[in-house]
Amino acid sequence: MSFNTFGHLLRVTTFGESHGPAIGCVVDGCPPGIPLTEADIQPYLDKRRPGQSRFTTQRQEPDTVRILSGVFADEASGAQVTTGTPIALLIDNVDQRSKDYSAIRDSYRPGHAGYAYDVKYGLHDYRGGGRASARETAMRVAAGAIARKIVPGLNVRGALIQMGEHEIDRAAWDWAEVDNNPFFCPDAKAAALYADYLDGVRKSGSSVGAIIEVVAEGVPAGLGAPVYAKLDGDLAGAIMGINAVKGVEIGAGFGAATLSGEDNADEMRMGNDGKARFLSNNAGGVLGGISTGQPVVVRFAVKPTSSILTPRKTVDRYGRETDVVTKGRHDPCVGIRAVPIGEAMVACVIADHYLRQRGQVGASPRWPFSPPT
Ligand SMILES: Cc1cc2nc3c(=O)[nH]c(=O)nc-3n(C[C@H](O)[C@H](O)[C@H](O)COP(=O)(O)O)c2cc1C
């Protein structure tokens, strides 16, 4: 099961399974001299951590991260900084319950990865899905915390903007509200509705999907490259690589198809500071695969959790038809915990492109140019 690495100059490799002793990652390519301690990483892991409300899985994992390498604390200054060598991070798994999964050892959960893994590899780890488990995404979140520190002034924030059929009211969007409810929802009224709605879904043993929006501010203009290293292409790939994601949009996304050319084009003016200003952001901060300096806006759809209590028709490893019911602990809406994961993947892609930009172009040309005389 190879291909566990992503990124070019900032390369992240994750390892570990849902029910193994630990999960971890190696972040290679982080520049030296960046202040970094566990305290810089832990808050992001705490956002993704399971068991924090009745709306997420009751698996109790403290997700305490340890930095094993790649940092150095100078006794003189007392400050711990990155050395530029690989940063290895480790999180112990402490709350595995393999017996929860014995009923689905041989029968595939429709919507989960077991069948595809068996067809390809001849084996699948039925205990929480092994490598297909979203437990792996904790390490993406940890890597994302490092990525955020690489790009000066970068601010990446995510929010859940739709649960099932219930969209937020975008006019009521308040970033401060995101940390006030268990859904990372920016609309207080919608969050109150989600609480009742998801209680119903959870009690009935079912599950529901969600849409998440991630906005990256402070992205320097010029990240990304034509053709095969487009920033939006790499963002879409990274987000699609998150478990249960079935769709990604940049800026106006699928909605752009319904706009006229006049409405879709982001008109431009010059600001008082001598920099170009866009009058709208349908492009989502990316033109020609290259960042414009506008906020980068990524939206993604997460499918309903496949672990549900209602019996579903399936087949087993031996080609026999049967029914399957998933017991054990599950998120009724995995889209909630996907918020910090989406933020992390966006941060990693932007940091990778930031280093690539520095490598190829160095200091960007000074725009606007002087007109020819
Ligand atoms: C935060 C998070 C938690 C998840 N927890 C579960 C879960 O408890 N049960 C489940 O069936 N799927 C869960 N998933 C989704 C599966 O990992 C995913 O559907 C499965 O690996 C198949 O891959 P695919 O949906 O990307 O095709 C979770 C996904 C995320 C993002």
**Closest-lying ligand 1 atom to the alpha carbon of residue 132:** 21
Distance 334 CA to ligand 1 centre (A): 7
**CA nearest to 96, candidates 143, 138, 130, 121:** 130
pLDDT in tens, 119-174: 999 999 988 888 999 999 999 999 999 999 999 999 999 999 999 999 999 999 99
- 3 state SS of 228: coil
Distance 43 CA to ligand 1 centre (A): 22
The pLDDT assigned to 99 comes to 66
Distance 225 CA to ligand 1 centre (A): 32
Tell me how far CA of residue 48 lies from CA of 141, 183, 335, 338, 344, in angstroms.
8, 11, 11, 8, 11
Tell me how far CA of residue 11 lies from CA of 91, 102, 264, in angstroms.
19, 36, 35
The pLDDT assigned to 60 comes to 81
Distance 7 CA to ligand 1 centre (A): 23
Pocket probe for ligand 1: among 109, 112, 325, 333, the residue whose CB has the most ligand atoms within 8 Å is 112
Distance 8 CA to ligand 1 centre (A): 26
pLDDT in tens, 209-245: 999 999 999 999 999 999 999 999 999 999 999 999 9
The pLDDT assigned to 56 comes to 83
pLDDT in tens, 249-287: 999 999 999 999 999 999 999 999 999 999 999 999 999
**Please, which pLDDT band fits residue 100 given cuts at 50, 70 and 90?**
low
Picking from 60-69, 94-103, 336-345, which range would have the lowest pLDDT averaged per residue? 94-103
The pLDDT assigned to 373 comes to 87
Protein residue with its CA nearest to atom 7 in ligand 1: 330
The pLDDT assigned to 164 comes to 98
Question: What residues line ligand 1, using a CB cutoff of 6 Å?
Answer: 57, 112-113, 129, 132-134, 137, 242-244, 303, 305-307, 330-331, 334, 337-338, 341
* Mean pLDDT (whole number) for 49-69: 87
